[in-house]
């Protein structure tokens, strides 16, 4: 009985101790992060052996088979490694090294904006008395002529009227370009020069154009001295007339005697 009681107590004690004794907690797997090595300039990809590394672990990390690790690195059948050892994992195409200085692309500069300045066109319609198409002393301006200034693109159109005197009619602030200038002479005048002129105006220039005209024949004032008899001729005629009358009377008197 004592043996049974002792055995019973031993079994109960064992189970009590087993129930109260803490079980060893399962050791969690450490999270391992692995960064793929960067290829060297010559194209080789290397892995440096870490503490407790094995070929199996390296194969799982890198995806390179154990046989390839042995073949690439000349390892023995046991795949013996040492800490700090560099293992070749593979090769890629080497990065080309440029010879000489690297050319830096030059940034494109904005295209320069073309300068478009302004100029001035002056028009002088003169009374060409002698008809030689040249402005001479005593030939002043003609008033009432119609002036037109237009560019060849049809964007600019200016109009004016000629003036008497010696000053031309000027058109200010005209953009440079090709222009056509035309003048219509007043009534009773005939042109003595071309009445249209093509001109290329440059920025900052002042171009003066002379157009000539003269009075038409129907507008010329009548020559009073040429159409009337001279007083001297009238007196001389009267004298001759009186002399003739006197001569006739004298002849008639002689014949009666």
| CATH at 66 | 3.10.350.10
In a domain, 181, yes or no: yes
Give residue-wise pLDDT tens across range 32-59: 455 667 778 888 888 899 998 899 988 8
In a domain, 74, yes or no: yes
Averaged pLDDT of the chain? 79
* Mean pLDDT in residue range 150-167: 92
* Same-domain status, 139 and 206: yes
In a domain, 192, yes or no: yes
Q: Where are the alpha helices (DSSP H) in 173-229?
A: 224-227
| CATH at 148 | 2.60.40.10
* Same-domain status, 127 and 166: yes
* Mean pLDDT in residue range 118-142: 92
Give me the pLDDT at residue 161, please. 95
Q: 242 vs 132, which has greater pLDDT?
A: 132
In a domain, 169, yes or no: yes
Domain that holds residue 72: 44-91
Buried b (16+ CB within 10 A) or exposed e, 180-192: ebebbbeeebebb
* Same-domain status, 123 and 199: yes
* Same-domain status, 142 and 200: yes
* Matching residue, tokens 């009590």: 16
Give residue-wise pLDDT tens across range 159-180: 999 999 999 999 999 999 999 9
CA distance 40 to 90: 11
Cα separation of the two ends of the chain: 237
User: With pLDDT > 70 as the criterion, what percentage of the chain qualifies?
Assistant: 66
Strand order in the sheet with 189-191: 169-175, 118-127, 206-215, 189-191
* Same-domain status, 124 and 78: no
* Same-domain status, 127 and 78: no
Residue 241's contacts (CB-CB under 8 Å, 6 or more residues apart) are none
Q: Among 57-66, 102-111, 134-143, 231-240, which stretch is predicted with the lowest mean pLDDT?
A: 102-111
Give me the pLDDT at residue 30, please. 41
User: With pLDDT > 90 as the criterion, what percentage of the chain qualifies?
Assistant: 33
* Same-domain status, 76 and 140: no
Domain count, the chain: 2
* Same-domain status, 128 and 200: yes
In a domain, 141, yes or no: yes
* Same-domain status, 144 and 208: yes
* Mean pLDDT in residue range 70-76: 89
């Amino acid at each position: 009985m004592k043996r049974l009681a002792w055995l019973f107590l031993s079994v109960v004690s064992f189970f009590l101790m087993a129930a109260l004794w803490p079980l060893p907690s399962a050791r969690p797997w450490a999270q391992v992060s692995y960064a793929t090595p960067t290829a060297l300039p010559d194209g080789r990809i290397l892995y440096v052996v870490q503490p407790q590394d094995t070929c199996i672990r390296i194969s799982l990390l890198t995806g390179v088979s154990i046989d390839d690790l042995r073949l690439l690195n000349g390892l023995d059948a046991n795949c013996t490694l040492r800490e700090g050892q560099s293992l070749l994992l593979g090769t890629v195409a080497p990065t080309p090294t440029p010879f000489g200085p690297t050319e830096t692309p030059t940034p494109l500069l904005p295209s320069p904006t073309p300068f478009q300045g302004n100029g001035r066109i002056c028009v002088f319609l003169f009374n060409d008395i002698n008809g030689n198409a040249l402005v001479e002393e005593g030939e002043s301006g003609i008033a009432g002529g119609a002036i037109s200034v237009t560019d060849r693109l049809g964007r600019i159109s200016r109009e004016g009227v000629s003036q008497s005197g010696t000053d031309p009619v000027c058109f200010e602030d005209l953009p440079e370009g090709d222009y056509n200038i035309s003048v219509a002479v007043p009534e009773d005048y005939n042109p003595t020069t071309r009445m249209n002129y093509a001109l290329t105006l440059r920025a900052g220039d002042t171009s003066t154009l002379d157009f000539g005209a003269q009075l038409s024949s129907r507008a010329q004032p009548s020559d009073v001295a040429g159409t009337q008899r001279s007083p001297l001729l009238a007196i001389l005629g009267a004298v001759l007339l009186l002399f003739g009358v006197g001569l006739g009377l004298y002849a008639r008197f002689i014949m009666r005697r």
